[in-house]
Amino acid sequence: MKKNLMNKIFLSLLLVLPFVSANAQMRFDDKLIEQVRKLQTAQLAISNLYVDSVDYEKVTEDAIRGMLKELDPHSSYTNATETKKLNEPLEGNFEGIGVQFNMLNDTLIVIQPTTKGPSEKVGIIAGDRIVTVDGSPIAGVKMDRDSIMRKLRGPKDSKVKLGVVRNGVKDMLHFTVVRDVIPVHTVNAAFILRPGVGYIQLDRFGATTGSEVKEAIKKLKKEGMQSLILDLQNNGGGYLIAAVDILSEFLPARSEAVYTEGLQSPRQSLRTNMSGEFRDGQVVVLVNEYSASASEIVSGGMQDYDRGLIVGRRTFGKGLVQRPIDLPDGSMIRLTVAHYYTPSGRCIQKPYVKGQKEEYDRDVLNRLNHGELMHVDSIKLDSTKAYKTLVKGRTVYGGGGIMPDVFVPLDTTRYADCFSKINRNNIIIPAVLKYVDKHRKSLLKKYKKFDDYLVGFVAPDDLLQGILAEAKEKKIEPKDEAEREKTLANLKELLKCQIANNLWDLNEFYRVYCETDPIVQRALQELQKIE
């Protein structure tokens, strides 16, 4: 039985590896086969000789993870559960009841039902508490978020009975919701930020990102957009083709958007498609140290063609292409097979040492420590990796992310360690939920339009003091009056954003956020100069 299991593992390797590439197959036939047999021998020895019982699935997974750990920082293995969870935000949809929710005191509170989604259709509204699912309690039983999500999700057209507690209603309400396909949006916000200036915030690069951005541009053009701010701050990437789709909106048709090349992967060029919605207007792309992968393809392509102004801080520097290799049990290996290059020939991958992922992950912290995030002259550019943009012939650099055209330093004068600790300890979100839950009707009555909220709302003192009091109970306090003032200022800004999100949606969150974000504000200044 055990031998059969190990033989199956061996055969799985034999079946998977030939599909990687023809060159890989040639290596497999002579040298690699010896190492595969070596691994099989070790596994068989463990199964037949080891003193105690063995979790063979764990041993196999640990072996795979161990092999990949000695390669580059981005080759990885995920089990079936991890793979599903990882892919879902990128796939464009899932099947469920269609609510945005958060947890407060072990109770699910609906933040917003999905517009025209299954929950909205039956009458579930913001502020509702879902306390039972198919007669089983989910409130007050210390059920974790993932377990609740598994209960709420299910196949399209399946029914689920929900017990709901609503403020002002004495008895529990009962709803039967027919599950449906729920879209997963990657465009968090799209609105006119200033007269003639559109703003699009992109969260990640998923299966529907290209069409989402296209529709957002069409909408903003109808509202008078003449120039666009594309916000890729903190966007860690996603699907490569989504980056090409976005570049297609701005660059001429058939322009080389990016190319990939590796030892076993011949050069492959990806080009823009025929239909672009915004090939003439001014574009500013916002990036920071957490903008990575597909974000760097977009910002690098816009820079190489002198099509848009890049504003912010040097990007992460991930220029490695991972090929997914599906395994029979639903798990997946993401194996680095190539580098990707911007149209000018830049490889944006930052340096790394194989097997030293921990040091690689500390790179952003290292940038902070040596001053790069605050001072542009602290950035060391490699003169051997200088390239020219394709239209104006400007010098740009590869080998370590995308260097912006306009540098915006990290504002350390506003940093408060106390605020950072409050934020990390999950004090703010529950406080916002309680506040909105109590004042939702009065707030919406007072601020009938969001514009009124944007101009007039200030976080009340009792909310601020309540957060500080709870922080004190957790031994989090400002060290002096100066830090207290900074903490309060940061709290006011974040609370205004979060309350807007709870009363309306993420679009309104970013409308508030844009008014104080230094990189957004600098982009507006640069657009004024261009005009």
Burial of 401-415, coded b for 16+ CB within 10 Å and e otherwise, reads: bbbbbbbbebeeeee
For the chain, give percent helix, strand, coil, nearest 5: 45, 20, 35
112 in Cβ contact with 104 (< 8 Å): no
Positions marked active-site: 293, 304, 318
Closest CA to 302 of 402, 445, 219, 440: 402
Provide the token pair at 183: 């879209």
Q: Got the DSSP string for 467-494?
A: HHHHHHHTT---SSHHHHHHHHHHHHHH
CB-CB neighbours of 489 under 10 Å? 14
257 in Cβ contact with 297 (< 8 Å): yes
Provide the token pair at 121: 């259709």
Distance CA 41, CA 63 (A): 13
Distance CA 63, CA 6 (A): 13
Closest CA to 491 of 414, 412, 410: 414
CB-CB neighbours of 395 under 10 Å? 10
Compute CA distances 401 → 250, 272, 313, whole Å: 21, 22, 10
